[in-house]
Amino acid sequence: MIDLTKNRREVIRVRQREFNGQRIVDVRLFFPGADGEMCPSRKGLSVPLDRATDLADAIRAVTAQENVDDD
Tell me whether residue 70 is in a domain: no
pLDDT by residue (tens digit) across 38-49?
999 999 999 999
Nearest Cα residue to 44 out of 28, 24, 55, 25: 28
- What pLDDT, on the 0 to 100 scale, is given for residue 70? 72
Question: Residue 43 is part of a domain; what is its CATH number?
Answer: 2.30.31.10
| pLDDT surpasses 90 at 19 | yes
- Average confidence score pLDDT of the chain: 94
Q: What is the pTM of this model?
A: 0.82
- What pLDDT, on the 0 to 100 scale, is given for residue 71? 65
Tell me whether residue 71 is in a domain: no
Q: Burial of 44 by CB count in 10 Å (0-12 exposed, 13-18 middle, 19+ buried)?
A: middle
Number of domains in the chain: 1
